[in-house]
């Protein structure tokens, strides 16, 4: 179970839960359409009342209107929606990624979605590039801090475009920010019967900011004596994830390292096309997006793998209080993988929509 705040499956909601779907750019709309079909099929099968609202935010909208995330839209997402289901953003026509920074990073910051939970789980033995590894060896989650670090966008260019140019991006860490993500990682470990939490930083270089991570990690770890705590520098962690992935249950790390390590983790279990993620503030409206980006070269061809977004839908169903539906979606993906019902990146014969429909069909057939 991946929800941090599971609700009771049996208590009927007074109104349908509203999911804002932001398909975004590139392959975003294609994987969002396929995944929405699966989420709705699971909702119907398990009696969850969901309402999807499709929002056109993305590069096209920005280029047409100059708008990225207006205050009104932000208030609507915060106040009227139960979850945000996000495809991907990134478009060559917006080289500075202004719209993606405003919308995706804007939502992470403004909704204070401090947990970026990224599972790394092998769903079929043939999918790992690691020799001699099986399902039991690859099953951990990355808790990526999601509101601080170099992502805050503080900095600037001095004497820009001259030979004397100076460029600065500040790395920001707060006691509150570090403590809450580390605590979330331990809480999740305890709630899910996991034994080990590994914190990763580069405190050997970043003595001030990652020194804070070290001190806070020791303090919080002491509150969870039943959980084994361990520290690895991020460079060594990258190596250990490949050498001995079975040694990890929960990895907690900074925003930037979590970004990089989660792509590495994805590749260990089948690639970016399969990787899911949840941006959470437990108990509040949260944002669910696959780990991958807009993959412009694949866009519009019905070839992108929708499973990452579909598994992201499973995380969303869990968080919305429908764990049976979430589990059914994950099972259906596992069954499709076993049956070879998958897209070309996984060696399968199906297009994006057909792969989504194959999962939906299995979800509908769940007994």
Using CB under 6 A as the criterion, which residues of the chain lie in contact with ligand NAD when the complex forms? 27, 31, 88-90, 97, 104, 272-273, 289, 292-295, 297-298, 304-305, 308, 345
What is the pattern of x (binds ligand IPM, CB under 6 A) and - over residues 280-299?
A: -----------x-x------
82 is annotated as an active-site residue: no
* Residue 329 binding partner per list ligand NAD, Mn ion, ligand IPM, none, with a CB distance cut-off of 5 to 8 Å that depends on partner kind: none
**Angle 151-278-287 (CA atoms, 0-180°, nearest 5)?**
80
Pair of tokens at residue 65: 């209107």
Enumerate binding residues for Mn ion (CB under 5 A): 259
266 binds ligand IPM (CB under 6 A): no
Q: Would strands 115-121 and 278-280 be described as parallel, antiparallel, or unpaired?
A: antiparallel
Closer by beta carbon to ligand NAD, 198 or else 311? 311
233 is catalytic: no
Which among ligand IPM, Mn ion, ligand NAD, none contacts residue 298 (Cβ within 5 to 8 A by kind)? ligand NAD
Catalytic residue among 60, 139, 202, 233: 202
Active site residue 112: no
Query: Would you state the torsion angle of the CA atoms of residues 48, 52, 58, 60, taken in this order, to the nearest 10 degrees?
Result: 150
For residues 331 and 366, is the Cβ–Cβ distance under 8 A? yes
**Tokens 């030979």 belong to which residue?**
163
Q: Which stretch binds ligand IPM (CB under 6 A): 97-105, 165-173, 201-209, 321-329?
A: 97-105
Q: How far apart are the first and last CA of the chain?
A: 20
Q: Which residues pair with 51 in a beta bridge?
A: 18
Token digits of residue 240: 């250990």
Positive or negative, the Cα torsion across 61, 64, 69, 70? negative
**Closer Cβ to ligand IPM, 147 or 229, answer by number:** 147
Of the pair 45, 108, the CB lying nearest ligand NAD is at 108
286 binds, among Mn ion, ligand IPM, ligand NAD, none (CB under 5 to 8 A by kind): none
Residues 6+ apart with CB under 8 A from 144: 115, 116, 117, 118, 181, 253, 254, 255, 257, 258, 259, 261, 262
- Interface with ligand IPM by CB under 6 A: which residues? 100, 104-105, 259, 291, 293
* Catalytically active residues, by annotation: 151, 202, 235, 259, 263
């Amino acid at each position: 179970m991946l929800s941090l705040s599971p609700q009771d499956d049996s208590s009927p909601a007074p109104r349908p839960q509203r999911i804002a779907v932001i398909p975004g750019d590139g392959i975003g709309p294609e994987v969002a359409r396929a995944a929405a079909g699966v989420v709705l099929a699971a909702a119907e099968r398990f009696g969850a009342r969901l309402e999807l609202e499709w929002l056109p935010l993305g590069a096209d909208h920005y280029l047409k209107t100059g708008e990225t995330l207006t205050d009104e839209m932000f208030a609507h997402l915060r106040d009227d929606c139960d979850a945000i289901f996000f495809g991907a953003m990134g478009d060559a026509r917006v080289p500075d990624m202004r719209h993606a920074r405003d919308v995706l990073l804007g939502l992470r910051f403004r909704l204070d979605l401090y947990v970026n939970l990224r599972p790394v789980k092998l769903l079929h033995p043939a999918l790992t590039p690691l020799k001699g590894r099986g399902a039991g060896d690859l099953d951990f989650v990355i808790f990526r801090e999601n509101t601080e670090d170099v992502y805050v966008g503080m900095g600037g260019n001095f004497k820009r475009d001259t030979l004397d140019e100076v460029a600065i991006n500040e790395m920001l860490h707060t006691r509150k920010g570090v403590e809450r993500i580390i605590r979330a990682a331990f809480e999740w470990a305890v709630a899910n019967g996991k034994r080990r939490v590994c914190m990763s930083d580069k405190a050997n270089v970043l003595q001030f900011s990652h020194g804070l991570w070290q001190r806070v990690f020791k303090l919080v770890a002491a509150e969870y004596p039943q959980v084994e705590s361990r520290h690895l520098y991020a460079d060594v962690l990258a190596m250990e994830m490949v050498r001995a992935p079975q040694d990890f249950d929960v990895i907690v790390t900074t925003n930037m390292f979590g970004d990089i390590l989660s792509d590495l983790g994805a590749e260990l279990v089948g690639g970016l096309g399969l990787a899911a993620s949840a941006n959470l503030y437990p108990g509040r409206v949260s944002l669910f997006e696959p780990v991958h980006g807009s993959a412009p070269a694949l866009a519009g061809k019905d070839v992108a793998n929708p499973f990452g977004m579909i598994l992201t839908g499973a995380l969303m169903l869990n968080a919305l209080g429908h764990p049976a539906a979430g589990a059914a979606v994950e099972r259906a993906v596992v069954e499709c993988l076993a049956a070879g019902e998958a897209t070309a990146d996984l060696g399968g014969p199906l297009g994006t929509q057909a792969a989504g429909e194959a999962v939906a069909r299995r979800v509908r057939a769940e007994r």
